[in-house]
Amino acid sequence: VVLNNLKVHSLSITWALPPQEQYYRVKPLHYISWLVGHEGKGSVLSFLRKKFWALALYGGNGETGFEQNSTYSIFSISVTLTDEGYKHFYEVAHVVFQYVKMLQKRGPDKRIWEEIQKIEANEFHYQEQTDPVDYVESLCENMQLFQKEDFLTGDQLLFEYKPEIIADALNQLSPQRANLVLLSAANEGQCHLKERWFGTQYSVEDIDKYWSDLWASDFELNQDLHLPEENKYIATDFALKVADCPETEYPVKTLSTQQGCLWYRKDDKFKIPKGYVRFHLISPLIQQSAENIVLFDTFVNILSHNLGEPAYEADVAQLEYKLVAGEHGLVIRVKGFNHKLPLLFQLIIDYLSDFSFTPAVFEMITEQLKKTYFNILIKPETLAKDVRLLILEHGRWSMIDKYQTLMNGLSIESLSSFVKAFKSQLFVEGLVQGNFTSREAKDFLNYVVQKLQFAPLAHPCPVQFRVVDLPNTHLLCKVKTLNKGDANSELGVYWPLPSEPCFDFLRTKQTLGYHVYPTCRNTSGILGFSVTVATQATKYNSELVDRKIEEFLSCFEEKIKHLTEDAFNTQVTALIKLKECEDSHLGEEVDRNWNEVVTQQYLFDRLAREIEALKSVTKSDLVTWFQAHRSNKKKVLSVHVVGYGKHEGDSEVTAVSEVQNSSSGEIPHLIFLPPSSLMTNVTSIKDIKAYTSTLNVLPYHKILK
């Protein structure tokens, strides 16, 4: 039993087997993990989900030196439990043992092994280019493990079906040989031992006698557990399509109606039988209230839950999908072999169209969402991001608003009403790229429109927020971390900054924090730069770190002033070459194009324009620009999420509620801290909504030049 501070429960079941590495041509552990980790009908996870005991399950061997070596091979199964699952963790373990026993009694199945072999072969033969360094590293490792003829393929392909080897590994997985680890914050008070390196609290207990006796006997099998059916999503047609329209360098709009539009580009570079399909279902309903955002998150999570079982066969056949609850709409992303990709996309739209849920599923998902929101709030880095965007973006709802809404309770009726309203009026925008004809691409949008039967939006819906116009001063928003006792602080100062000198000054020389990184930010069309430092209140005061960032800026200003023309040109040339790097796989091009679609900017040649702009930039331009942003009219926003420690004077600070106590039901709130004498020339924000309500709001802005 292990104590965990995060609000999650998990059960890990682990076996130590004789070394299996020598059987790489058969891959017995891969075969077993494929079945144990299956999420389709008849699987362990399918059964546990119906009981509302589990959210996820992972099984297998990580093939690291710790998990697989010449002494032993580890096989582990990890189950993410619900609150109910935590209460019934012995029953959860029993279901796992019943499934393993079923596999042992049935013996290895040649059809399933050959399906796995076919899927892995498809992925290997049509894999996209990987990073050369990673590939060389992997190849060097393979050379230590496999025969010469298998250096390139031994880690991925299945070569020989030998049921006796698989059966031998399966028979090692008995309950008596298993080690169970139960990890949860609910274990507080039960863990009296402490691990020496990281101080993790744990306890060691015997298995309950009832269960140890049952598992030692010839216990009954579970009739709901069985092998998966034949997989209909495995691709067999890998022919490259003949173009049915003129080829273009960038996506073109091939379909446009009041209900939506479609962007399309046929792949003519990578020439692989794969495709990418992305759709954005836009609705103004989402941002109307914090409750609507929470209802939308709940809806998308339930939809993903509903798809878990029927879409799993597609997932194992190397077809990938993801549903994202975006700021302004539902994002649907699918990719993989184009032969069967339409089947997966249609499945998702069918489940969206016929969306339904039970009260038990509603309860399970909302409870899990509470934990998700909570874990975001107690992490300094994610709380800092939330505070920053709450200040900058007009009309944004905070994570605390959402958490409070969820804790106050949602009704099943409100979710049903929201989903009905969401599906009734939409604007759907899609991008299809890869091995599809333009006619096939149009079929995706047409299927969405025909299946959902929605009305067009009465007015166009913006897909970004408006940004407030910050005053020409240094703003400071300093709040206490919501995780009592956490010494970690997160500090963000928004400023134009280059990376390597920043890291060298703040991390290497000043040793202010391990994580030091500058970032160029595009906040709803408004450009800005930030430098973020993760430090600890037991070592440094956040305002001291802020001053050190300002000190670096002064040093850097002098550095660029004295930069030689040759040195400047070298930097510019290096940046141009970086932007001119060829895409290593189709997904990189798709990501770039999708960003233009989802932000409705459609500047698909943005990269080429940036390269041309760089060619005309001079050192004088840079110095003038930098000094303008260092003048008295500069706009700077510092966000500090302050940890607990002696350098932050916690004896003088009101302690935050014990938000780590999951049973308390406490709603966390931000505690705003005043600036100290270290930062006197700043404007302190003590109430975000009150302060930002006094500021002007900039128009919607897109970067198109």
User: Could you tell me the pLDDT band of residue 701, with boundaries at 50, 70 and 90?
Assistant: confident
The residue among 388, 384, 397, 383 whose CA lies nearest residue 470 is 388
Cross-strand bridge partners of residue 255: 262
Arch. (CATH architecture) of 467-584+594-692: 2-Layer Sandwich (3.30)
The residue among 91, 174, 157, 155 whose CA lies nearest residue 122 is 157
pLDDT (mean) for 423-435: 98
Query: What residue spans in the chain does CATH classification 3.30.830.10 cover?
Result: 2-216, 252-452, 467-584+594-692
Arch. (CATH architecture) of 2-216: 2-Layer Sandwich (3.30)
474-480 and 636-642 strand pairing: parallel
Residues 22 and 165 sit within 8 Å (Cβ to Cβ): no
User: Could you tell me the pLDDT band of residue 514, with boundaries at 50, 70 and 90?
Assistant: low
Rounded to whole angstroms, the Cα distance separating 296 from 365 reads 12
Measured CA angle at 501 (ends 496, 503), to 5 deg: 95
Is residue 508's pLDDT more than 70? no
Residues 590 and 422 sit within 8 Å (Cβ to Cβ): no
Task: Tell me if the domain spanning 252-452 has CATH number 3.30.830.10.
Answer: yes
Distances (CA, A) of 614 to 389, 529, 557, 575: 29, 18, 20, 8
Lookup: tokens for 514: 């391990």
Is residue 499's pLDDT more than 70? no
Give 129 or 71, the one with higher predicted confidence: 71
Is residue 502's pLDDT more than 50? no
pLDDT in tens, 194-243: 988 888 899 999 999 999 999 999 999 999 999 999 999 999 999 999 99
The residue among 9, 12, 79, 13 whose CA lies nearest residue 48 is 79
pLDDT in tens, 88-136: 999 999 999 999 999 999 999 999 999 999 999 999 999 877 788 999 9
Residues 402 and 294 sit within 8 Å (Cβ to Cβ): yes
Handedness of CA 304, 307, 313, 318 (dihedral sign): negative
Is residue 251's pLDDT more than 80? yes
Q: Which amino acid is at 202?
A: Y
HSE-CB for 83 with a 13 A CA cutoff:
15
User: Could you tell me the pLDDT band of residue 651, with boundaries at 50, 70 and 90?
Assistant: low
pLDDT in tens, 663-688: 345 678 899 999 988 888 899 999 99
Q: CB atoms < 10 A from the CB of 184, how many?
A: 22
DSSP 61: -
pLDDT in tens, 320-366: 999 999 999 999 999 999 999 999 999 999 999 999 999 999 998 99
Specify the length of the chain in residues.
Answer: 705
Lookup: tokens for 527: 């450009």
pLDDT (mean) for 172-185: 95
User: Is the model's pTM score more than 0.75?
Assistant: yes
3-state class of 428 per DSSP?
Answer: strand
Is residue 505's pLDDT more than 50? no
